[in-house]
Structure 1
Amino acid sequence: MASTTYKPAIMSASLGRAAQHDFDYKVEQASKAGFKAIEIFFEDLEKVGRDLVAKNGGDASNTAELTTEQLLAAASHCYDTCQRNGLEVLDLQPFLFYEGLLDRAQHARLIEKMKVWLQLAKRLHTTTIQIPANFLPADQLTGDFDVIAADLRLVADMGAAETPAVRYAYESLCWSTHVDTWDKGWDIVRRVDRPNFGTCLDTFNIAGRVWADPTSPTGKAPNADADLKDSLERLVRDVDLSKVFLVQVVDAERMTTPLVAGHPFHIEGNPPRMNWSRHARAFMYETDRGAYLPAEDVARAIISGLGYKGYVSMELFSRTMSELGQQVPVEHARRGIVAWKKLQERLCLNE
């Protein structure tokens, strides 16, 4: 979201897993901590939707699929809650497992799902939907970037037809099957070639792919420092700032033992970096929690090097979100704003 000043945003899911923490309470804690916007997960809408169904005496079990009308009611509730707490809705995410599918019947079903997401975005008063690069197994996907771009161009045109137009922030995850680096993601953005289709740049996913390796005893990839330096220089040189729709900053814990089979976070069939991401991210500067990535270097390249101005999301996924208790959203909001203020100081950012 373009802006002349920097504003902190927080991912609502980072205040506690949606299944265990009340959405309204999470939003209230984010606002009290000093955040100006939040990202909303589809998980949040499902949780709120089920709560509203239960309140009206309906079947709110996790096996009961919510109707479009129930999801839209949830989105309206979420927007009203954010408004009461002075928070903007930065985006809706993640629209998962869409592009490059070999199963074209599933592709068609997801096009129908996107029609609902566009309605949800309108109810949330946001104009951005985030799409993570597909991380389904390789035997379910094509690696043909022209096909991937064509699929994404289709939803971009759907968003452009909305009033106001909806933008898409495409994010390369460090464990995505074919698009696992920022430069591959940027290649896709250029191929899509639509004004409302841009990139999400994330410090964890950039450093976590180029610099870090949770399966290594050192926590680092070979030639980590040189490769990251080269990567960030290319990012500053090649990326069009007008196409940077979303910036997320976060760190991660260094594993005390390699994250391979036998590690507590290992899940068979999942890429190691996915397991690492879901269990062991940390806010920036949390060295007491094992944070060790050069996340500030990546943030500096994006903000100072590219000249990005706008919301900075303090994104987090961690096993700590699954803890129970009222203190969990409070503590995550506090930790997030502490990280923001230090980043603000270190990069001399105005607010």
Structure 2
Amino acid sequence: MPAPITLASLRSVPLAYATCSIGSSPSDTLPDKLLAISNAGFTAIELSFPDIQQHAEKLHNREVASDSYAELTLAARDIAKLCKKLNLEIMMLQPFSNFEGWPRGSVEREQVFLKAKAWMQLMEACGTDLLQVGSTDSLEESISTNRADIVRDLRELADMLAKQNMRMAYENWCWSTHARTWKDVWEIVKEVDRPNVGLCLDTFQTAGSEWADPRSPSGLLEGIPKPELERRWKENMLKLSQTIPGTKIFLLQVSDAYKPAKAIENEAKDGLRPRAQWSHAYRPMPYAGGYLPIEDVTKAVLKTGFRGYFSMEIFDSGPEGKGKEHEVNQYAKKAMESMQRLFKNVAETNE
């Protein structure tokens, strides 16, 4: 029997905020976001690549291309200085996507490995040792879903990172080509078998793959009676808690999801599969109108013994997905209140 989840143990959990998850206006600069995050009591950030690019453009007062790494590196160094003044750790750089599975000898494979080396330079510049890798979700038919190919590529990246004392947090995306569930990414991480590779788990991605489906009128997986769905879900969360060592979880990202007012059509739009469309616009913070069983996911992760970073990663465009204004300071404070409420609700003892 795992030890009960004590509220005292949750008070020591470090709290982060993804910079891509705050601000709804181009006028919300990265320094504004960082100040709001720090004032709300968060001690770290996930630094999002688009924020590095935006900050570089502010510094140079012109557009900066996504592959202008000399300018992006200067921006990353400046961000590190800003964070140091605010006592914020840069916990992770994200999101590194569509990396694994490209055919050997292909231009795409060569490009993603060159990109990985460039992102490692950004990591060094901003002072983080952790890279988030999202499981490939490309619509390109040439990309492989073969497990051996996936593992080979991730091992190669892991070894590159290890030479610089860097780590990788591998995440399932619930619309991925090959790793939609926590079981998928855990099996892959086990096969990769590198000490610097662990999991980025996510309350949305976990419940969004095995409980909910935005394409159905009910918002739940179709073809399964709800009592059976609930039984399977409880078993699934129990298995997670008993399967993954807490030491192989590098962070837990926290968000909920709105049930779309109208079911999302079962087709890709703007290069995004239905669940990706859902992810990009319908993800509020906990207790803000969502419907996923995120407390179940949180409890399962905590029962592994994990007490590492909890990170707020939300994309809230409102229940209609059409946009919603957020004032950064109030929003960051609300996010902290939401995180503390989550801790109180999942704690099994107040000791």
TM-score (norm 2): 0.88
Over 4 Å off, 4+ runs: 17-20, 320-325
Specify every segment of 5 or more residues in structure 1 that has no aligned partner in the other structure, as ranges: 55-59
Q: How does 1:41-52 map to 2 (within 5 A)?
A: 41-52=48-59
Q: Does 1:108 align with 2:115?
A: no
- 1:140 is matched with which residue: 128, 133, 142? 142
Q: Does 1:167 align with 2:167?
A: yes
1:267 positional shift: 2.9
- 1:128 is matched with which residue: 115, 127, 130? 130
- Per-residue CA deviations over 1:61-94 (Å, capped at 9, x if unaligned) read 36x4553221111111111111111111110001
| Contact persistence 2:24–2:324 (CA under 8 A) | no
Specify every segment of 5 or more residues in structure 2 that has no aligned partner in the other structure, as ranges: 1-9
1:41 counterpart letter in structure 2: S
**Cα distance change on mapping 1:323 and 1:215 into 2, 3 Å:** closer
Partner of 2:214: 214
1:268 positional shift: 5.8
Partner of 1:12: 19
1:347 positional shift: 2.9
| Contact persistence 2:250–2:308 (CA under 8 A) | no
- 2:304 is matched with which residue: 298, 303, 306? 306
Q: Distance in 2 between matches of 1:297 and 1:149?
A: 29
1:344 positional shift: 2.1
1:316 counterpart letter in structure 2: I
Q: Distance in 1 between matches of 2:317 and 2:176?
A: 21
Q: Distance in 1 between matches of 2:162 and 2:24?
A: 32
**Secondary structure of the corresponding residue to residue 92 of structure 2:** strand
TM-score (norm 1): 0.88
Q: Distance in 1 between matches of 2:45 and 2:322?
A: 19
Q: Does 1:182 align with 2:190?
A: no
**Cα distance change on mapping 1:150 and 1:20 into 2, 3 Å:** farther
1:173 positional shift: 0.5
| Contact persistence 2:132–2:171 (CA under 8 A) | yes
Q: How does 1:63-142 map to 2 (within 5 A)?
A: 64=65, 67-102=68-103, 104-137=106-139, 139-142=141-144
1:343 counterpart letter in structure 2: L
Q: Distance in 1 between matches of 2:69 and 2:140?
A: 31
1:254 counterpart letter in structure 2: K
Q: Does 1:339 align with 2:341?
A: no
Q: Does 1:316 align with 2:323?
A: no
Partner of 2:246: 241
Partner of 1:34: 41
1:90 counterpart letter in structure 2: M
1:235 positional shift: 1.0
2:265 counterpart letter in structure 1: V
| Contact persistence 2:258–2:283 (CA under 8 A) | yes
1:171 positional shift: 0.2
Q: Distance in 1 between matches of 2:258 and 2:324?
A: 21
Aligned residues: 332
| Contact persistence 2:203–2:255 (CA under 8 A) | yes
- 1:226 is matched with which residue: 228, 231, 252? 231
Q: Distance in 2 between matches of 1:322 and 1:272?
A: 16
**Secondary structure of the corresponding residue to residue 97 of structure 1:** coil
Partner of 1:197: 197
Q: Does 1:157 align with 2:155?
A: no
| Contact persistence 1:18–1:44 (CA under 8 A) | no
- Per-residue CA deviations over 1:289-314 (Å, capped at 9, x if unaligned) read x31100011001101x1111121001
Q: Distance in 2 between matches of 1:261 and 1:173?
A: 17
| Contact persistence 1:138–1:177 (CA under 8 A) | no
| Contact persistence 2:158–2:196 (CA under 8 A) | yes
**Secondary structure of the corresponding residue to residue 97 of structure 2:** coil
**Secondary structure of the corresponding residue to residue 198 of structure 2:** strand
1:69 counterpart letter in structure 2: A
Partner of 2:3: none
1:161 positional shift: 0.5
